[in-house]
Amino acid sequence: MSHAPPSPVTETTFPIPAGVFAETVTEVVHYTDRLFRFRITRPASFRFRSGEFVMIGLPNAERPVFRAYSIASPSWDETIEFYSIKVPDGPLTEHLQRIQPGDTVLMRKKPTGTLVLDALLPGKRLYMLSTGTGIAPFASLVRDPETYEKFEQVVLLHGCRESAELAYGEELVAQTLNDPLVGEMAQGRLLHYTCVTREDHPRRLRVTEAMTGGRVFADLGLPPLDPAHDRVMICGSMAMLHDSKALCEAAGMEEGSNSAPGAFVVERAFVD
């Protein structure tokens, strides 16, 4: 794990804009040169549904830059976790990647999003299809007992360029299976499937290819996608969303929303 240089974030004294929470960073973990996660304190009045996103920013300008971030921690958690990419010259992430415990992060008060259990019709098996930091909303959902109350099986798929980028998901799954609240529910029911595209790996292919080619189903011993019983949540880059949506539609699934639940739901992973 790498460590970022000291933060300039605490040195600024701009007023906190109206309608936002100013929260304190409690933990920062860097995974690679491109990826890190952090936690902030949770305001007592802040409520959200697992899988939703919120706008966050830094108090380093009169008019701070805000970006949408999926909340990676579950709705019952005492702190709020985010998983982020570090974009060179990204208006927010070039500063955000240097935050340290004790720094302030701004968070708008209203969470929203479609990767929520309420936007899906009842089903037996839930596929979570992600690439890169698109795993973040699923980090929230796999740690939520409601996910296991609604689905018999949960399949978390994560595709990255290199295997070092799978570390966050591997840590997440290991921790979830040992968690006092959800561990027992998740054991034997939470399946984790990873692929890597840009280095040697036993599964060197894209997650979408692993689905359409049937590799996921063969490797995990599962039947092909069935619109009657299977549900899919999708989060990644625009191109990945497009291809994932197409494979769901080809399987006869209809897209859902908060107002009209369906067989699959889509959210883009938000970066600078």
Q: Which of 88, 92, 114, 119 lies closest to 38, judged by CA?
A: 92
The sheet with strand 104-108 has its strands ordered as 67-70, 53-57, 104-108, 20-30, 35-41, 79-85
Q: Which of 24, 107, 16 lies closest to 69, judged by CA?
A: 107
Q: Whole-number minimum distance, CB 102 to ligand A2P, in Å?
A: 30
268 vs 247: CA distance, rounded Å: 16
Q: Whole-number minimum distance, CB 135 to ligand A2P, in Å?
A: 10
Is 194 one of the binding residues for ligand A2P (CB under 6 A)?
no
Instruction: Enumerate residues 207-226 that contact ligand A2P by CB under 6 A.
Output: 207-208
Among 198, 199, 218, 250, binds ligand A2P (CB under 6 A): 198
Q: Report whether 36 contacts 167 (CB < 8 A).
A: no
Contact letters for ligand A2P, residues 105-134 (x by CB under 6 A): --------------------------xx--
Number of residues that bind ligand A2P (CB under 6 A): 14
264 vs 271: CA distance, rounded Å: 23
Q: Report whether 272 contacts 93 (CB < 8 A).
A: yes
Stretch that binds ligand A2P, among 62-70, 86-94, 234-242, 253-261 (CB under 6 A): 234-242
Contact letters for ligand A2P, residues 140-179 (x by CB under 6 A): -------------------xxx------------------
In the complex, the residues that contact ligand A2P under the rule CB under 6 A are: 131-132, 159-161, 197-198, 206-208, 237, 239-240, 243
